[in-house]
């Protein structure tokens, strides 16, 4: 609640309303505090206030807001065509849950952001400069970059990509010591005997369709995947969160192993390329689709380098698959998982990255791609249950 005294008189639609300016604030939840303020400007309890009253509210209490957030609120006031501000939009905004209607209002608004670009701000510490750098790496709109810059607190940190990468390194070191081999570990007769890699004879052990990401064919395989995973995955997780990035990563990895089981039925699978290619493909597609808005430095050169790294890794995988296996009749690991990851990245991944701070369940395109993905997973499951016997596929012996 707010102890107050009369301070401002606001006029809207011929009515005069007395506005109270807070002098001290008792410890209440921020949302309750803003609801009290909104209600004072909405005596009819209609759930809306006029843009004139909304500007009065911002004039009286704007000092309590982050400067970038105040800019966005003013842009919302200018963008509203019917002259009214919805309470739910306002509360969602204050709790960092921006509705789709709010985004459209900002994009169609007449007000340009008043302050200088985020890149021109000086006096920032190292951690804040890193946040600003990540904002320019991943977000195409200045309003989103400023919003992210004000909202991000490093809590929680980007733990998911780091945890996956550390686990992959630990597993690789373990097998390197066990096999006494660091390059082309896959050529060892014991490489596929562990509980992690996918093998067509062991596909009934369903965890292998995901656990294969922690095994790599050699240090060259691990190095390229780890570089792309950290350079692209960590910034994306900082912006979009572990849940969304984890969704794209896991969907890419699962699609990769299922794609192998459908199209390259006799081959095993190792490596995190399915998940990594899903993230990198989604990010590159997002950059291309928002080329003019992306302000990251040397974006053309860096995009070319990312494509070169992806091509080198994919070329290595194709070469290894076609190379005569060390222990026939079991072939070398398949490269098809890369393509499954790319397919997920260009569909489901793009929708996730395009909707920063938007509820995915409100996006029809998300449900379309997610439904297609689910249908593919179900078809892949039935294929693994019935197709191998119906087609009488001759599989290599179990490792």
Catalytic residue annotation:
273, 338
Structural contact between residues 271 and 213, judged by C-beta atoms closer than 8 angstroms: yes
Structural contact between residues 317 and 335, judged by C-beta atoms closer than 8 angstroms: yes
Q: Give the CA angle between residues 130, 358, 338 to the nearest 5°.
A: 70
Strand partners, 11: 16
Structural contact between residues 213 and 168, judged by C-beta atoms closer than 8 angstroms: yes
The C-alpha atoms of residue 35 and residue 319 are separated, in whole angstroms, by 63
The DSSP call for residue 84 is E
Residue with tokens 């209002």: 105
Contacts of 172 (CB under 8 A, 6+ apart): 185, 215, 216, 219, 222
Reported in sequence order, the residue ranges of the chain that DSSP labels E, i.e. its strands, are 2-12, 15-25, 48-50, 84-86
The DSSP call for residue 11 is E
Listed in sequence order, the DSSP H helices in 191-233 are 208-211, 219-228
Structural contact between residues 147 and 95, judged by C-beta atoms closer than 8 angstroms: no
């Amino acid at each position: 609640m707010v102890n107050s005294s009369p301070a401002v008189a606001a006029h809207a639609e011929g009515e005069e309303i007395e506005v109270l300016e807070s002098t001290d604030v008792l410890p209440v939840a921020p949302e309750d505090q803003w609801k009290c303020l909104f209600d004072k400007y909405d005596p009819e309890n209609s759930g809306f206030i006029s843009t004139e009253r909304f500007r009065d509210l911002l004039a009286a209490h704007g000092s309590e807001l982050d400067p970038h957030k105040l800019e966005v609120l003013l842009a919302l006031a200018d963008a509203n065509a019917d002259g009214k501000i919805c309470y739910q939009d306002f509360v969602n905004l204050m709790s960092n849950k921006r509705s789709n209607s709010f985004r459209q209002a900002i994009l169609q608004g007449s007000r340009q952001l008043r302050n200088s670009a985020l890149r021109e701000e000086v006096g920032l510490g190292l951690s804040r400069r890193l946040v600003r750098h990540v904002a320019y790496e991943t977000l195409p709109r200045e309003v989103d970059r400023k919003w992210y810059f004000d909202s991000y607190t490093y809590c929680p940190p980007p733990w998911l990509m780091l945890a996956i990468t550390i686990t992959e390194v630990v597993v690789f070191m373990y097998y390197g010591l066990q096999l006494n081999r660091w390059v082309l570990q896959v050529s060892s007769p014991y490489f596929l005997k562990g509980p992690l890699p996918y093998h067509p004879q062991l596909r009934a052990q369903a965890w292998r369709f995901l656990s294969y990401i922690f095994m790599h064919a050699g240090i060259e395989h691990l190095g390229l995947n780890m570089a792309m995973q950290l350079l692209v995955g960590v910034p994306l997780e900082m912006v979009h969160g572990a849940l969304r990035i984890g969704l794209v990563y896991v969907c890419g990895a699962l699609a990769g192993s299922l794609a192998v089981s459908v199209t390259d039925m006799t081959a095993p699978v190792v490596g995190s390329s399915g998940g990594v290619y899903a993230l990198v493909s989604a990010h590159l597609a997002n950059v291309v689709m928002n080329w003019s808005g992306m302000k990251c430095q040397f974006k053309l050169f860096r995009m070319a380098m990312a494509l070169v790294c992806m091509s080198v890794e994919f070329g290595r995988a194709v070469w290894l698959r076609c190379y005569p296996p060390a222990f026939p009749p079991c072939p070398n690991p398949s490269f098809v998982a890369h393509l499954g990851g790319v397919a997920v990245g260009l569909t489901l991944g793009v929708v996730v990255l395009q909707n920063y701070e938007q509820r995915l369940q409100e996006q029809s395109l998300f449900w379309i791609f997610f439904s297609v993905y689910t249908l593919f997973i179900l078809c892949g499951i039935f294929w693994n249950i019935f197709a191998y016997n119906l087609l009488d596929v001759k599989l290599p012996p179990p490792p």
